[in-house]
């Protein structure tokens, strides 16, 4: 098992990565906790034992249930059971569970300890790490939430063996993102040359370093949203059959095209983005029926948009935030996606 620390100013916690990592769960439960609320979704078939009295709370599935109403319903159930501030919430599932359970833990009794047991690739390399929790509004994704760092994160890679193929592929969209955030400081071997366990641990280490330097997304942490501006717009539009990682994959290619239009990168770097994304059998073009005006309107609602339309883009100094991007450049890059991209 690989243990990756997330070093924060107030508290460092560990991420346990590898087959059988869930066996470490009981050792991460806070001393003095009498009860553990296990928050999960139906159909996962994963039972965990925190070593103390526990009860399972099942939340809904899909983005449509990632709402304030779901958080309220969960908190009411916790109150009816009698969960106290000294107890612990254990999120067992993917990114949806991490977001809803994490947000509930952040606000219930003004903060209850949280442990994440991530069961998807997307969750293990992204959603469960770093303490960002949140739910959607009709106006946009993740617009209401809180920073609430977990006490520990369990990334048992045995869980990945039973993921549906499309769910695993969705996680590959986030994995593709880390190809362009890896500066080599966490190991010299390229990401694609590692075993799956090592890939998960490398991604966790990359994200941990970013979070440690910018816990509340005041600057550098926004780079973790590489590819997400278009991805979130496609997800909010709602008419496309896209998983999150698939949308991120399209967003990565679009971000590369936009960076080229702005003169930040060259043709070879764009081609590298397309090669990495397609190498994971992910889409590289806009889905049929995409409307440029709708997408641009949704870009303006993105939570990074603090000074005009804002993107995270590659460039000579690496991936960074670029504000007030010109509409003409946005449209030109969208047109390149439409004519050159092929949705798989």
Q: In whole angstroms, what is the distance from residue 8 CA to residue 6 CA?
A: 6
Q: Where are the beta strands (DSSP E) in the chain?
A: 2-6, 13-18, 35-41, 53-59, 88-93, 113-118, 132-137, 140-147, 152-156, 311-313, 320-322
Which of 215, 217, 235, 246 is labelled catalytic?
217
**Whether 113 is catalytic:** no
- CA dihedral (164, 165, 170, 171) in degrees, to 10, reads 80
The number of beta carbons lying within 10 Å of the beta carbon of residue 240 is 16
Which of 151, 169, 174, 273 is labelled catalytic?
174
**Whether 142 is catalytic:** no
Which of 151, 207, 303, 304 is labelled catalytic?
207
Structure tokens at 278: 């397609």
Which of 228, 260, 274, 304 is labelled catalytic?
228
Which of 141, 151, 202, 244 is labelled catalytic?
244
Which of 141, 151, 177, 221 is labelled catalytic?
221
**Whether 109 is catalytic:** no
The number of beta carbons lying within 10 Å of the beta carbon of residue 229 is 27
C-beta separation of 113 from 44 below 8 A: no
The number of beta carbons lying within 10 Å of the beta carbon of residue 17 is 27
For 170-192, what is the HEC assignment? HHHHHHHHHHCCCCCCCCCCCHH
Burial class (CB in 10 A: 0-12, 13-18, 19+), 45: exposed
Q: In whole angstroms, what is the distance from residue 114 CA to residue 312 CA?
A: 30
C-beta separation of 325 from 302 below 8 A: no
Which of 66, 186, 232, 303 is labelled catalytic?
232
**Whether 177 is catalytic:** no
Structure tokens at 318: 């690496």
C-beta separation of 208 from 6 below 8 A: yes
Bridge partners, residue 6, by sequence: 13
**Whether 141 is catalytic:** no
**Whether 54 is catalytic:** no
Which of 35, 141, 186, 225 is labelled catalytic?
225
**Whether 139 is catalytic:** no
**Whether 132 is catalytic:** yes
- Of 21, 298, 32, the closest CA to residue 160 belongs to 21
Active site residues: 110, 132, 174, 207, 217, 221, 225, 228, 232, 244
């Amino acid at each position: 098992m690989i243990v990756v620390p997330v070093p924060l100013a107030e508290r460092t916690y560990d991420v346990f990565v590898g087959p059988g990592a869930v066996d470490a769960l009981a050792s991460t439960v806070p001393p003095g906790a009498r009860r553990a609320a296990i928050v999960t979704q139906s159909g996962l078939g994963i039972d965990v034992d925190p070593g103390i009295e526990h009860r399972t709370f099942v939340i809904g599935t899909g983005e449509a249930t990632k709402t304030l109403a779901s958080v309220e319903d969960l908190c009411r159930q916790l109150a009816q059971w009698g969960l106290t501030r000294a107890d612990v919430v254990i999120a067992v599932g993917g990114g949806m569970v991490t977001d809803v359970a994490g947000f509930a833990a952040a606000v219930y009794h003004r903060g209850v300890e949280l442990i994440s047991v991530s069961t998807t690739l997307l969750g293990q390399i992204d959603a469960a790490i770093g303490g960002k929790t949140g739910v959607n509004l009709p106006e946009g994704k993740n617009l209401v939430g809180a920073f609430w760092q977990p006490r520990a994160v369990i990334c048992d890679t045995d869980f990945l063996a039973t993921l549906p193929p499309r769910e695993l592929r969705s996680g590959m969209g986030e994995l593709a993102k880390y190809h362009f955030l890896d500066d080599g400081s966490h190991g010299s071997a390229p990401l694609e040359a590692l075993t799956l366990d090592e890939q998960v641990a490398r991604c966790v280490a990359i994200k941990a370093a970013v979070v440690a330097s910018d816990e509340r997304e005041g600057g550098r942490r926004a780079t973790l949203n590489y590819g997400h501006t278009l991805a979130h717009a496609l997800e909010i539009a709602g008419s496309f059959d896209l998983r999150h990682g698939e949308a991120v994959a399209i967003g990565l290619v679009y971000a590369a095209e936009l960076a080229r239009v702005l003169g930040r990168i060259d043709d070879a770097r764009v081609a590298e983005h397309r090669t990495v994304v397609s190498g994971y059998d992910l889409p590289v073009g806009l889905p049929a029926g995409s409307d440029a005006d709708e997408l641009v309107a949704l870009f303006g609602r993105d939570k990074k948009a603090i000074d005009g339309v804002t993107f995270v883009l590659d460039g000579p100094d690496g991936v960074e935030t670029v504000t007030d991007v010109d509409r003409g450049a946005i449209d030109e890059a969208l047109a390149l996606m439409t004519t050159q991209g092929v949705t798989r």
